[in-house]
Chains A and B, each alone.
Chain A
Amino acid sequence: MFRLPIDAEGFPLGKGPMVMLVLFVISTFFIFGRSEEEGESLEFWIFANTHYEEYQARVPIFEAQNPGVNVQLINFGNTMHDKLLAAMLSNFGAPDLVEVEITSIGRFLKGAIDEVGFVDLRPRLESEGWMEKLVLSRFTPWSYRGQIFGIPHDLHPVVLLYRDDLFKAAGVEMTEVETWDDFIVAGKKATRDLDGDGEIDQHAIVLDRRTESDYFSLLLQQGGGFFDEEGNVIIDSELAIKTLEFFTALFNEHKIATPVYGTWHGDPSNFAAMQDGKILSILSPDWYVGILKSQVPQMSGKWKAIPMPAWHPGGRRTTTRGGTMIGMTKQCTNPDRAWELLKFTYFDRAGLVNRYETTRIIPPLKSAWDAPIFKEPDTYLGGQPLGDLFIQLAPDMPPRYQNPYWSEGADLLNDAIFAAVTEKQTPREALTELAEKVRALMAKDLGRWGEL
């Protein structure tokens, strides 16, 4: 009779290790021996839950239109950017398509331009005539040295959301506010110490002094920025300094602004302060309205919106904050099919209407703007057609030039804003010091690498 040269009893250390070994061999077989799915496969990485849910609902339509194509949507949440970076560093494992957030894209642009891990989409966009169909200024965050590495998911125009009831109670009609000077006058009337304890309980506006978000929005509104189109540091320009002086004055001189409750505008503490009537207005991009609706639905009907106050009569009444792009990685094995999926998710009118329905995000595709949904009254804003307001502002979006040094710059800008608002430095000192640091960093790299 045939006998195996080993038996369970005689196996070193007994039956346990043998069982483990058998399980190891079987599982290895299953892991490495699985057959590849038939047909083409496209991998698409996402970091935002709302985007993931939207694509999950729409991808089956694409798959039905493209028999044999299998789309794998993977939502990595906040860790996605780090995973993408690792995949690009190791030149292995990156997806075909990926969404990248606006504050993260800079790090992917470091190094020589041909080392960037994304495909330049300009040739495809130009040959198919997509450039003029989209808001041109929204390509700037995703472009560098003439190449376009991503297509904008959104515009993210900003409006001023305000508590109509509380401003009216203070005798202020906010629809008459046109400039920031008007806002200061209105804000002083509405900012109040309600219980007479000497402390202000109700501030006209909430602003983030810990990070660049609100200050940078105000700077972009005037056409400023951290870097110009050529990549020069302009954060110490007179415009940037005047804007920070204005920003700090809202806290310290006019005393109409409160620092954000918690660590950012989406903090539960901030929402609690809103519900308590401590915050009367907030600079809100379109996506933030979606967050408010989901986080504080009980405030439905209490908010109204006006365009942002301008810096001078007739000036720009909006800015932009946040953003996402879709990019095709250089590891993509089927660029043509990936391009089709990209167009389906970003340029399909029905999909973009669906996106607005679920997230309140205004698409950059101009031909989608006449969809009836954008004109519909928004119950959360007491029946005001918010989509219509955003779309009126959309053509005036300021550019936001991208730069590989944005991450370092933004980190230092956060410190500079905090130092200025807490009066540890004057706005001029804080921004001059910041600009010198970033220029020194860039000069050092230029010296070492011969190019930026």
Chain B
Amino acid sequence: MRTNRTTYRFWNQQQKIAPYLFIAPFYILFVVFMGYPLVSSLVMSLYEMRGFQSRIFVGIGNFIDLFGDPIFWKSLRNTAYFAAGTLTLQLPIALLLAILLNSKFVRGKNVLRLAFFAPVLVAGVFVAIIFNLVYDQRAGLVNNELLIFGKEIGWLNEENYVMPAVILTGVWQWAGFNMIYFLAGLQGIRQELYEAASVDGANWWQTFLHITLPSLRPVIAFVFVVSMIGSLQLFDLPYILTNGGEPADAGSTIVMYLYKNGFQFMRLGYAATIGWVLFFIIAVISIVQLRLLGIFRDE
């Protein structure tokens, strides 16, 4: 009897505790690796730090300094440029590819799908190294073999061309990845809608505008928000492609400037400030995007 009672109590207890134990690893890891650093970096942004131990409380001094820092604004402009390029170039291309691959007239869809998706499997570092050769002024594929522009362009040596080079590389790497989201969205649209439109005499453009796009709205919202966040966090590609943002910070991005301040200049408080400003920028833009795309609206 005693054994039975003990066993019952054990089971009773563990039934209450077990769920918490199962979710505990996530929360422990979250608190240790996310929660604590977040709070710590917020505190850090209010301090000027120097060396390995010294710190002085400066309140919002770092934020004031940051808003008067021309390299920060240049990095912000470059980042916004990349984000704009992503939204206006990469995502339409991804959507176009998805529509093509969803069409019944295209053959070898599986091969094409894999081919378009494959670049995302290549690590960013290698992409940067490969495109360093592709953009080479004299011997590079773009200037030399394709002769697209009819003249030698210093893609990585002239200020005006650095960000376009980064954007084009981003298109190559990520368009296929976003295409998969759009493709999944397209395949989820009910066929009857198209049949009904056809019966009503709608042409391709009208069908696209009034059926495809509205049906894809949740997918478009997701891809837009995720791409925007990824664009604002851009770091490795331009860092390697432009050898640290050169020339003249033409390839510098917000995260690159954060890295430089934190790890190269040992200005950890200032770097934390950049991190929090970036956080607010991402949060505001994401909320605005989601609102504009009607994600918060009740159907």
Query: Which residues of A does B touch, CB under 8 Å?
Result: 5, 10, 12-13, 17, 81-82, 85, 88-89, 91, 104, 107-108, 110-112, 115-117, 209-211, 259, 261-264, 267-269, 272-273, 278, 404, 407-408, 411, 414-415, 418-419, 445, 448-449
A88 B263 Cβ-Cβ under 8 A: no
Known contacts: A411-B260, A415-B249. The answer to whether A269 contacts B54 by CB under 8 A is no
Determine whether B51 belongs to the interface, using a CB cutoff of 8 Å to chain A: yes
Q: Is there contact, CB below 8 Å, between B264 and A210? A: no
- Contact across chains for B51 and A262 when beta carbons are under 8 A apart: no
Provide the residues of chain B in CB contact with A273, threshold 8 Å.
138-139
What B residues does A13 contact at CB under 8 A?
A: 22
Min Cβ gap B264→A in Å is 5
- Residue among B48, B52, B58 with the most chain A CB within 10 A? B52
Considering only CB atoms, which chain A residue lies closest to B158 in the complex?
A422
What's the minimum C-beta distance from B291 to chain A, rounded to whole angstroms?
A: 38
Report yes or no: A110 in contact with B156, Cβ–Cβ below 8 A.
no
Interface residue? B265 (CB, 8 A): yes
Contact B18 A12 (CB under 8 A): yes
Question: Are the CB atoms of A210 and B265 closer together than 8 Å?
Answer: no
22 A-B pairs (CB sep. < 8 Å)? A5-B6, A10-B11, A82-B263, A91-B52, A107-B264, A110-B50, A110-B51, A111-B52, A111-B54, A112-B51, A116-B51, A209-B247, A210-B157, A259-B157, A262-B156, A263-B246, A269-B138, A407-B265, A408-B265, A418-B246, A418-B247, A419-B248
User: A115 touching B53 by the CB < 8 A rule?
Assistant: yes
User: B264 and A411: CB pair below 8 A?
Assistant: yes
Asked whether A263 lies within 8 Å of B242 as measured between CB atoms, the reply is: yes
With A and B bound together, what is the CA distance between A272 and B263 in angstroms? 33
Judge whether B139 and A210 touch: CB under 8 Å.
no
CB-CB under 8 A from A115, the residues of chain B are: 51-54
Chain B 260-293, CB-CB to A under 8 Å as 1, else 0, gives 1001111010000000000000000000000000
User: Once bound together, how far apart are the Cα atoms of A89 and B10, in whole Å?
Assistant: 46
Q: For window 219-256 of chain B, which residues contact chain A by CB distance below 8 Å?
A: 241-243, 246-249
Partner of B10, one of A5, A88, A263, A415: A5
| B248 surroundings in chain A (CB, below 8 A) | 414-415, 418-419
B23 CB → nearest A CB, Å: 12
The interface residues of chain A lying within 8 Å CB-to-CB of B266 are: 85, 107-108, 110-111, 404, 407
B265 touches A5 (CB 8 A): no
Contact between A261 and B137 (Cβ–Cβ < 8 Å)? yes
Query: How far apart sit A399 and B242, CA to CA, in the bound complex (Å)?
Result: 30
Task: Judge whether A107 and B136 touch: CB under 8 Å.
Answer: no
- Which A residues lie within 8 Å of B203 (CB)? none
**Complex: chain A residue closest to B6, CB-CB:** A5
Contact residues in A for B260 (Cβ distance below 8 Å): 407, 411
Interface size on B, residues (CB 8 A): 39
Given the interface contacts A210-B243, A210-B247, A414-B246, does A262 sit within 8 Å of B263 by beta carbon?
A: no
Which residue of the partner chain A has the closest CB to B139?
A272
Q: Which of B1-30 contact A (CB under 8 A)?
A: 6-7, 10-11, 14-15, 18-19, 22
Please state if A278 and B138 are interface contacts (CB–CB under 8 Å). yes
Query: Is B34 an interface position by the 8 A CB rule?
Result: no
With a 10 A CB-CB cut-off, give which of A404, A414, A419 has the most chain B CB atoms. Answer: A414
Q: How far is the CA of A108 from the CA of B266 in the complex (A)?
A: 8
Contact at A448–B48, with CB atoms within 8 Å?
yes
Closest to B263 in A: A82
A174 vs B45: C-alpha distance in the bound complex, in angstroms? 57
Contact B139 A269 (CB under 8 A): yes
Query: In the complex, which residues 107-149 of chain B have their Cβ closer than 8 Å to any Cβ of chain A?
Result: 132-133, 136-140
A449:B139 contact, CB within 8 angstroms:
no
Kindly list chain A residues whose C-beta atoms are within 8 Å of the C-beta of B138: 261, 269, 272-273, 278
Which residue of the partner chain A has the closest CB to B240?
Answer: A263
A5–B56 Cα distance when bound, in Å, is 57
Contact (A263, B51) CB under 8 Å given A210-B246, A269-B133: no
Distance from A441 Cβ to chain B, minimum over Cβ atoms (Å) = 9
Report Cα–Cα, A407/B52, bound state, in Å.
17
8 nearest A-B pairs in the assembled complex, by CB-CB distance: A111-B51, A115-B51, A263-B243, A269-B136, A110-B266, A418-B247, A107-B266, A210-B246
Residue among B7, B58, B264 with most chain A CB within 10 A: B264
Complex Cα–Cα for A407 and B264 (A): 6
A88's contact among B7, B19, B52, B58, by CB below 8 Å, is which?
B52
Residues in B with CB closer than 8 Å to A408 are 265
Output the residue of B10, B51, B241 with the most chain A CB within 10 A: B51
Min Cβ gap B31→A in Å is 18
CB–CB B54/A264 < 8 A: no
Known contacts A273-B139, A419-B248: A445-B50 contact under CB 8 Å: yes
In Å, the complex CA distance between A80 and B26 comes to 29
Shortest CB–CB separation between residue B1 and chain A, in angstroms?
A: 16
Chain A residue numbers with a CB within 8 Å of B48 are: 448
* B56 cross-chain contacts in A, Cβ below 8 A: 448-449
Closest to B53 in A: A115
A248–B33 Cα distance when bound, in Å, is 49
Chain A proximity mask over B151-168: 1 for CB below 8 Å, otherwise 0: 000001100000000000
Chain B residues whose CB sits within 8 angstroms of the CB of A12 once the complex forms: 14-15, 18-19, 22
Give A107 to B50 CA distance when docked, in angstroms.
10
Residues in chain B near residue A418, CB distance under 8 A = 246-248
- Indicate if the CB atoms of B50 and A89 lie closer than 8 Å: no
B28: min CB distance to chain A, Å? 13
> B247 to chain A: which residues have CB within 8 Å?
209-210, 414-415, 418
Taking CB atoms, residues of chain A closer than 8 Å to B243 are 210-211, 263-264
Set A264, A268, A404: member contacting B133, Cβ < 8 A? A268
Residue of B nearest to A12 (CB): B18
Nearest CB on B from A336, distance (A): 24
Quick check: B139 and A111 within 8 Å, CB to CB? no
* Bound Cα distance A288, B97 (Å): 46
Which among A89, A272, A278 is the interface contact of B52 at CB below 8 angstroms? A89
Distance of A314 Cα from B52 Cα, bound (Å): 46
CB distance from B15 to the nearest CB of A (A): 7
* B-side contacts of A104, CB under 8 Å: 264
- What's the least CB distance linking B160 to chain A, in Å? 11
A85 contact set on B, CB distance < 8 A:
263, 266
The distance from the CB of A436 to the nearest CB of chain B, in whole angstroms, is 13
A272 / chain B contacts, CB cutoff of 8 Å: 136, 138-139
